[in-house]
Amino acid sequence: MDLFQAMSVYVKVVETGSMTAAAQECGISTTMVGNHLRALEQRLGVSLLKRTTRKQNLTEFGGQYYQRCLEVLGLVADSELLAEQVHSETPKGSLRITAPPVFGTERLVPALSEFAQRYPLIDLYVVMSNERMDLVDSGFDVAIRLGELESSSLIARPLQAYTLTLCASPAYLARRGAPQTPADLQQHDCLAFAYPANDNWRDTDKLWRMTGDEGEVQVPVSGSLTINSSQGLRQAAINGMGITMLADALVQPDLDSGKLVALLTTYKLPSRPMHLMYRQDRYRLPKLRAFVDFVMEKWAR
């Protein structure tokens, strides 16, 4: 006996009120409908219907079993729909993404307009966070992550590095002058980002590193502001509070407009690796493949 078919036939008997009508709905003979019902009752060891010459009624158990059949058949239908979506060539459905706040706000979100035009059937849910969320436990499909990778079973695709620029406002430089060497930074107000205690860049708030022809230089710096907000640090620099190191993704428009001026440009500042990460077993989903291909098209290393 095909259990799911028998359950489907039973549901039709209940909904149509007769085996003859159920047979017509299912496209089988009345005899076959009766066979399915008897097979179900034998399997369960309980009567499902009270049959008379004129009508049939559900037993108490038959009513309860009917509700369970609806639930089970509904789950089967949902599972088959999910499988159809997996094999469909049209990317669709909800896609949950987590990304670092600065890259996510300044680079990813502006690009999502183009992605949404390409794939209008994908609904995007984006969370900006530096927290390394577990993709399984938190229900995310894909993550963009900064920093060195930890050992995991996730697929990690390298992206362009997360780079920094040393900069200050024209007003500050007019008042204090521009540093000509890294050592000159010790005579300036240097605005620092307050990294979390567990971040491997925690010590960079008071010790700035850069690399030039002479190798790596480490400069102890001080200033009147340490803040855990990149946007706050940017605003402080624009308003002339001092010199800061900020992500290129955040300050490039300000450099282009002249609100900020890049400093010590012959020196290479620290950078952080960035990766696109996702579960291998989810890559078969067209919506995820579409997003991975899009991100790699934009920011592949």
State the residue range of the domain holding 110.
93-158+273-299
How does pLDDT run across 89-132, given as a tens digit for each residue? 789 999 999 999 999 999 999 999 999 999 999 999 999 988 88
Contact by Cβ (8 Å): 37, 29: no
CATH number of the domain to which 173 belongs: 3.40.190.10
Out of 86, 118, 137, a domain closes at 86
| Whether residue 201 sits in one domain with residue 180 | yes
Q: Over pLDDT 90: what percentage of the chain?
A: 51
What pLDDT, on the 0 to 100 scale, is given for residue 52? Answer: 65
Phi, psi of 290 (to 5 degrees): -60, -40
What pLDDT, on the 0 to 100 scale, is given for residue 53? Answer: 55
What pLDDT, on the 0 to 100 scale, is given for residue 202? Answer: 59
279 — pLDDT class (breaks 50, 70, 90): confident
| Whether residue 169 sits in one domain with residue 153 | no
| Whether residue 255 sits in one domain with residue 117 | no
Buried b (16+ CB within 10 A) or exposed e, 68-99: ebeeeeeeeeeeeeeeeeeeeeebbbebbbbb
Over range 42-57, report the average pLDDT: 79
Residue 88 has pLDDT above 90, yes or no: no
Contact by Cβ (8 Å): 145, 100: yes
What is the domain count for the chain? 3
Residue 2 has pLDDT above 70, yes or no: yes
| Whether residue 255 sits in one domain with residue 128 | no
Residue 15 has pLDDT above 90, yes or no: no
pTM, two decimal places: 0.66
Which range of 45-49, 61-65, 129-133, 237-241 scores highest in mean pLDDT? It is: 237-241
Question: What does the angle CA 131 – CA 137 – CA 139 come to, to the nearest 5 degrees?
Answer: 85
| Whether residue 154 sits in one domain with residue 112 | yes
| Whether residue 217 sits in one domain with residue 173 | yes
| Whether residue 226 sits in one domain with residue 147 | no
How does pLDDT run across 193-240, given as a tens digit for each residue? 887 766 666 556 688 999 998 899 999 999 889 998 899 999 999 999
Q: What is the mean pLDDT of the chain?
A: 88
CATH number of the domain to which 54 belongs: 1.10.10.10
| Whether residue 97 sits in one domain with residue 241 | no
| Whether residue 247 sits in one domain with residue 115 | no
Q: Which residue has the higher pLDDT, 66 or 185?
A: 185
Q: Which of 15-19, 74-78, 120-124 has the lowest mean pLDDT?
A: 74-78
| Whether residue 285 sits in one domain with residue 232 | no
Residue 80 has pLDDT above 80, yes or no: no
Out of 71, 86, 101, a domain closes at 86
Over range 32-46, report the average pLDDT: 88
Out of 26, 61, 86, a domain closes at 86
| Whether residue 107 sits in one domain with residue 247 | no
CA 44 → CA 8, 57, 178, 296, distances in Å?
A: 16, 18, 86, 55
How does pLDDT run across 253-270, given as a tens digit for each residue? 999 999 999 999 999 998
| Whether residue 137 sits in one domain with residue 74 | no
73 — pLDDT class (breaks 50, 70, 90): confident
Residue 72 has pLDDT above 90, yes or no: no
**In 3-state terms, what secondary structure has residue 243?**
strand
Residue 78 has pLDDT above 80, yes or no: no
